Amino acid sequence: MRLLEARFVTSAADASGIPADGVPHIALVGRSNVGKSTLINALARSRIARTSAAPGKTRLANLYRLSVDGGAGGPGRWSVYLVDLPGYGYARGGAESVAELREIAEAYFGSAQGELRGTEVVARDFRPAHPAAPASRGRHRIAGVLHLVDVRHPALDADADAARWLGTFGVEHALVATKLDKLSRVQRAKNLKELERKLGKAALPISAPGGEGLDDLWKLIARLSRQ
């Protein structure tokens, strides 16, 4: 597999700003500061996504287009949008800011409902109003979802609630454990086992800075995008 091009395309605040050109989407969902932007940069092999140590940095749905030759599914050129959605669990700017972030997720995935609590996006913000609603409402096609979780914190209720929410859309979602490099090998194994117990599926362990797991993640992205 050969990466031909990776570029930032647009920031969308509502459904009208989401590209509908037939190129499949892979959405990245996770708690604030889980490493979505860092992972996109690692996959792109260049700094196309802005990163920040401060949680709540991503305020819009940021879309990046990657063009690739080969990979899972055989030879040939193909493209995919990686969609960095606002993180759940944190929002700066009070209740209005929380509502804004929730509306962006609703516009992208479809109808959802929730309630506000202080300045946090709580798990109920990601509970669907219509559990059977398709993930591809509108014109863009969501080929899959990467649910990123911080491997250092494997038992957070917000991650479990988000996983249940993602399971209502009828689209494949994979669990990706980030920040693997922050733990010892013994602690990695222990936390990955706890993640599987808590969320009901095995996680793909990733270290974006070190590149560990990126080849397997690319295979997954290729399979989802080219099926």
**pLDDT digits over 154-170, tens only?**
988 888 888 887 887 77
Q: How many CA atoms lie within 13 A of 110 on its CB side?
A: 22
- Number of other CB atoms surrounding residue 19 within 10 Å: 16
Tell me the two tokens of residue 94.
Answer: 């009070």
Q: Which of 55, 23, 60, 28 is nearest to 42 (CA)?
A: 28
Q: Which of 32, 45, 35, 56 is nearest to 180 (CA)?
A: 35
pLDDT tens readout for residues 126-185: 443 333 334 444 467 889 999 999 999 998 888 888 888 788 777 899 999 999 999 999
- Number of other CB atoms surrounding residue 224 within 10 Å: 22
pLDDT in tens, the chain (227 residues): 999 999 999 998 777 788 888 899 999 998 888 999 999 999 999 999 977 555 555 567 899 999 999 988 889 999 999 999 887 765 555 555 556 556 677 678 763 233 322 223 333 444 433 333 344 444 678 899 999 999 999 988 888 888 887 887 778 999 999 999 999 999 999 999 999 999 999 999 999 989 999 999 999 999 999 88
- CATH number, position 214: 3.40.50.300
- 26 bridge partner residues: 82, 144
Task: Output DSSP code: residue 17.
Answer: G
Per the structure, the count of domains in the chain is: 1
Question: What distance in Å separates the CA atoms of residue 91 and residue 211, rounded to the nearest whole number?
Answer: 29
Whole-Å CA distances, 153 to 112, 176, 182, 194: 26, 13, 11, 9
114 is in which domain, residue-wise? 2-226
> In b/e form, how buried is each residue of 40-73, taking b as 16+ CB within 10 angstroms?
bbbbbeeebbebeeeebbbbbbbbbbbebeebbe
Looking at residue 8, its pLDDT comes to 95
Q: Specify the 3-state DSSP secondary structure of 58.
A: coil
Looking at residue 41, its pLDDT comes to 96
pTM of the model: 0.82
